[in-house]
């Protein structure tokens, strides 16, 4: 299994440009998540999905959109890039819902480092 | 809401030194507690976890005990190695939701 894969690894955008960060998992996990990690900070949840066709906002969703057309893929879209979106973005997945399985583990991808100038 | 406070870094140790990274939390109900490690240029990996009071999580020589009375989950290792150099994140998951709440991370550097 490749686990959670993310592309690209690095990207520089100009203000106002748009892009899609790709995320895929091959573990047949129902739940997928997008986090951002700002320097010296912990991870903050942007969006999550509990299954194909179902997504919901996390703590910091403004400026982002997501879709989940398949179980495997969970792309994150930035429509009008702003310098405040300069961050490292991590995708993660897990099998089920925490409240039903306290041993449920989130598996993380290697991250995408995005700079908006 | 839920929150995690972990000791500020960076922490610099010599090889074979004893490591403690403090972590305290605020949460309603009975959260599960985690330590994640992030090696340079990589994503986060689960290091260890504990799901109820007095549980001890352990992995790769690291240990942490879930202390409900002090709301703490301190990470310890008796003898660190250069390969342990990484950023360590304490995190919790509330008893009734999916969401992981992370601390700010502690950078550990181990010198030979």
Q: Residue A33: name the closest of A74, A84, A87 by CA.
A: A74
pLDDT digits (tens, 9 = 90+) for B35-56: 999 998 788 899 999 988 999 9
What pLDDT, on a 0 to 100 scale, did the predictor assign at position B98?
A: 67
Q: What share of chain B is helix, strand, coil (3-state, %, to 5)?
A: 5, 55, 45
Residues lower than pLDDT 70 in chain A: 97-103
Q: Do B11 and B74 form a contact (C-beta atoms < 8 A)?
A: no
Which residues of chain A neighbour B98 with C-beta distances below 8 Å?
A: 31, 48, 50, 94, 97-99
Work out the average pLDDT over B76-88.
96
Is A31 part of the contact surface with chain B (CB cutoff 8 Å)? yes
The proportion of chain B whose per-residue pLDDT surpasses 70, expressed as a percent, equals 96
Predicted pLDDT at A89: 96
Strands A43-51 and A107-108: unpaired
- Cβ contacts of A40 on chain B, cutoff 8 Å: 104-105
Q: Is B42 on the interface with A (CB under 8 A)?
A: yes
């Amino acid at each position: 299994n490749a686990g959670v894969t993310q592309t690209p690894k690095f990207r520089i955008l100009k203000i106002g440009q748009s892009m899609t960060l790709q995320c895929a998992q091959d573990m047949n996990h129902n739940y997928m998540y997008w986090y951002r990690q700002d320097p010296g900070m912990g991870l903050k949840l942007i969006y999550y999905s509990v299954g194909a066709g179902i997504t919901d906002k996390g703590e910091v969703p403004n400026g982002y959109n997501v879709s989940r057309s398949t179980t495997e893929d969970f792309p994150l879209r930035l429509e009008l890039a702003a310098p405040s979106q300069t961050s490292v973005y991590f995708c993660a997945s897990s099998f089920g819902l925490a409240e039903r399985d306290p041993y449920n583990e989130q598996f993380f991808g290697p991250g995408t480092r995005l700079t908006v100038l | 809401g839920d929150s995690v406070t972990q000791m500020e870094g960076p922490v610099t140790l010599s090889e074979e030194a004893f490591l403690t990274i403090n972590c305290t939390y605020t949460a309603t109900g009975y959260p599960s507690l985690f330590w994640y490690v992030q090696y340079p240029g990589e994503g986060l990996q689960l290091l260890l976890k504990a799901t109820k009071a007095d549980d001890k999580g352990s992995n790769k020589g690291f240990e942490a005990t879930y202390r409900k009375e002090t709301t703490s989950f301190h990470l310890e290792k008796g003898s660190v190695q250069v390969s342990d150099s990484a950023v360590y994140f304490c995190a919790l998951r509330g008893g009734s939701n999916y969401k992981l709440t992370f601390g700010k991370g502690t950078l550990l550097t181990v010198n030979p």
